[in-house]
């Protein structure tokens, strides 16, 4: 065992220096205590014993001695097990007379024939855990950590998928250099995210039934540290991310919110059946999948398109016979202003969805109780995640929006972003939530329709509409499959496997994207230079 440990240390490239080993007597009893902050560190102290020609007995929590190979080996090597139940310390090894008393007494009064390691002496709080509960707590905590990390990853994809909504037109017309545009948008998203003081903790209530109207999780999902609810959320988030990354790979702007909702709907159906989904509201306001997702999805591109078309038409009527340079210069500024407004609104609207989801997970796991506020670190990490995503820039989506649909001019850009900003702000003001992505796409199409003599590539627009139609079922399917997987494997293993699959899928899609990278450098290349069929093949 000692030789094996040394081989491992050597394999890891560790160089270990011993100091003060002379303080360990070569005979008689002695206690060695160490800090324990990582998986490996306690093993180093064993080398001190070896140096002095002695073997060390480790004092370990009881569950290490369970019915496994490790447990058998631990017993054979004569290590000592400790029940960390409250105020009931005892060792299971014969020959160790340990008096009753708190853990401190255990150390002081130890009269073992050999030496002893005191493991995890650094954290007195651990002593209050019960053995059996300890395992459960770790599983629930692990799943909670996975949910938080995956939620932040979703927030990141939300940012980079939607950069184009605000900045595609400014980048395409050259009003802003690509890197400057995404930087500006990132800062405004960050500011917008911090502005969301009042966060809707009831974000999932729009489409599924896992919370009550105040935002607290349903009681029957709260057993085992909220495990059932955490797995539903985790699977839903994975569905949202996979769909976001896939549509990014294909360069299709699709709604991040719909991807999230789709994923959650899928995992909720898998976990709770069809009754887990809120299909419509109670009739007093727009609610449920139909009211909050499907109907707005049809309405938003049409409304935005009409507004942008009217705006574009009016602008060209007014400026038709003035010098082009004059018009372009003026409209560049108008475009930057209106695009900034869209970015700000995006930060406030979208970052708070992730904040709501993470806080729901924390409440379910018993780590947070206030249903009217969000922990500060949640707000901070969500704001940073969405801004970082925005700054990375989903160049593939930006290219489609800025160059693919129409050849955009500064007046059209101004009309499109003005329409987007107006539609997003007035719809959230009037409680009729619209998808930013669909609004932005509708606006750009509208600005193509409204300009006399402009051509619109309807084929690309058609592909987008198909993507919008299948967003909900596709993300839902992934969410459902992930939930089944997590559920069948169960425990800590299920969620871990789900996350590993997420990493594998997104990693694969990222690798695919490298075959034909789109970056800040080539985002504005001529669209027609690359024939449609070739583009599809290469993707």
Which stretches of the chain bind another protein, using CB under 8 A?
192, 195-198, 280-281, 283, 285-288, 290-291, 295-296, 299, 303-304, 306-308, 310-311, 314-315, 318-327, 330-331, 334, 337-338, 341, 344-345, 348, 411, 414-415, 418-423, 425-432, 434
**Shortest separation between residue 165's beta carbon and another protein, angstroms:** 15
Minimum CB distance to another protein smaller for 203 or for 419: 419
**Shortest separation between residue 184's beta carbon and another protein, angstroms:** 15
Minimum CB distance to another protein smaller for 244 or for 447: 447
CB 460 within 8 A of CB 418: no
Nearest residue to 111 via CA among 30, 25, 52, 55: 30
The rounded radius of gyration (Å) of the Cα atoms in the chain is 29
Neighbours of 487 (CB within 10 A): 17
Alpha-carbon span 509 to 187, nearest angstrom:
27
CB 480 within 8 A of CB 346: no
Q: How many CA atoms lie within 13 A of 71 on its CB side?
A: 9
| Residues across the chain | 539
CB 243 within 8 A of CB 469: no
**Shortest separation between residue 47's beta carbon and another protein, angstroms:** 57
The answer for residues whose C-beta is within 8 angstroms of residue 231's C-beta and 6 or more apart is: 143, 267, 271, 483, 486, 487, 494, 495
Handedness of CA 247, 251, 255, 256 (dihedral sign): positive
Scan for tokens 């360069």, then name that residue.
251
Scan for tokens 């406030």, then name that residue.
348
Phi, psi for residue 45 in degrees, rounded to 5:
-65, -25
The answer for residues whose C-beta is within 8 angstroms of residue 358's C-beta and 6 or more apart is: 147, 148, 151, 152, 374, 378, 382
Largest CA distance in the chain: 101
Nearest residue to 404 via CA among 349, 378, 441, 439: 441
In the sheet where 80-82 sits, what is the strand order? Answer: 30-33, 115-118, 58-61, 80-82
Which 3 state secondary structure label does DSSP give 58? strand
Based on the number of CB atoms within 10 Å of its own CB, is 190 exposed (0-12), middle (13-18) or buried (19 or more)?
A: buried
**Shortest separation between residue 308's beta carbon and another protein, angstroms:** 7
Alpha-carbon span 340 to 170, nearest angstrom:
10
* Cα-Cα end-to-end distance for the chain: 52
**Shortest separation between residue 183's beta carbon and another protein, angstroms:** 20
Alpha-carbon span 239 to 231, nearest angstrom:
12
The answer for residues whose C-beta is within 8 angstroms of residue 182's C-beta and 6 or more apart is: 163, 167, 390, 391, 392, 393, 520
Please tell me what DSSP assigns to residue 208.
Answer: B
**Shortest separation between residue 182's beta carbon and another protein, angstroms:** 20
CB 427 within 8 A of CB 434: yes
Estimate to the nearest angstrom the gap between the alpha carbon of 211 and the chain centroid.
Answer: 20
């Amino acid at each position: 065992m000692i030789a094996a440990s040394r081989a491992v240390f050597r394999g890891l490239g560790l160089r270990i220096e011993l100091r003060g080993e002379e303080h360990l007597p070569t005979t008689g009893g002695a206690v060695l205590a160490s800090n324990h902050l990582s998986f490996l560190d306690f093993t180093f102290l064993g080398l001190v014993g070896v140096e002095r020609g002695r073997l060390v007995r480790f004092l370990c929590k009881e569950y290490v001695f369970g019915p496994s190979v490790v447990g058998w080996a631990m017993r054979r090597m004569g290590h000592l097990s400790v029940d960390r139940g409250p105020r009931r310390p005892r060792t299971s090894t014969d020959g160790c007379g340990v008096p009753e008393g708190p853990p401190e007494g255990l150390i002081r009064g130890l009269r073992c024939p050999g030496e002893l390691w005191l493991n995890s002496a650094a954290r007195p709080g651990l002593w209050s855990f019960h053995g059996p509960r300890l395992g459960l707590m770790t599983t629930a905590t692990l799943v909670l950590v996975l949910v938080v990390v995956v939620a932040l990853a979703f927030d990141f994809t939300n940012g980079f998928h939607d950069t184009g909504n605000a900045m595609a037109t400014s980048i395409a017309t050259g009003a802003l250099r690509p890197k400057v545009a995404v930087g500006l948008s990132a800062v405004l998203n960050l500011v917008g995210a911090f502005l969301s003081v009042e966060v809707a903790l009831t974000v999932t209530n729009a489409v599924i039934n896992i919370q009550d109207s105040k935002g607290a999780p349903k009681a029957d999902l709260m057993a085992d540290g909220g495990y059932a609810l955490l797995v539903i959320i985790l699977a839903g988030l994975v569905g949202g991310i996979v769909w976001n990354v896939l549509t990014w790979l294909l360069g299709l702007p699709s709604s991040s919110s719909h991807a999230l909702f789709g994923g959650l709907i899928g995992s909720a159906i898998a976990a709770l059946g069809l009754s887990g989904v809120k299909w419509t509201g109670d009739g007093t306001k727009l609610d449920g999948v139909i009211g909050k997702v499907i109907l707005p999805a049809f309405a938003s591109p049409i409304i935005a398109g009409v507004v942008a078309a009217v705006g574009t038409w009016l602008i060209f009527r007014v400026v038709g016979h003035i010098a082009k340079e004059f018009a372009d210069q003026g409209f560049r500024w108008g475009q930057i202003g209106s695009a900034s407004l869209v970015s700000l609104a995006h930060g406030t609207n979208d970052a708070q969805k992730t904040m709501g989801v993470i806080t729901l997970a924390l409440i379910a796991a018993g780590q947070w109780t206030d249903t009217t506020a969000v922990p500060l670190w949640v707000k901070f990490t969500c704001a940073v995640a969405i801004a970082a995503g925005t700054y990375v820039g989903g160049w593939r989506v930006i290219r489609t929006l800025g160059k693919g649909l129409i050849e955009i001019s500064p007046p059209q850009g101004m009309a499109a972003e003005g329409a987007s900003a107006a539609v997003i702000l007035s719809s959230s003001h009037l409680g009729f939530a619209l998808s930013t992505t669909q609004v932005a796409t509708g606006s750009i199409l509208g600005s193509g329709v409204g300009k006399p003599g402009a051509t619109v590539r309807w084929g690309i627009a058609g592909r987008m509409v198909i993507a919008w139609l299948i967003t909900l079922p596709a993300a839902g399917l992934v969410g459902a499959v992930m939930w089944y997987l997590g559920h069948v494997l169960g425990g800590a293993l299920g969620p871990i496997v789900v996350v590993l699959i997420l990493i594998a899928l997104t990693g694969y899609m990222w690798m695919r994207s490298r075959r034909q990278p789109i970056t800040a450098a080539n985002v504005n290349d001529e669209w027609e230079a690359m024939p449609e069929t070739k583009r599809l093949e290469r993707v």
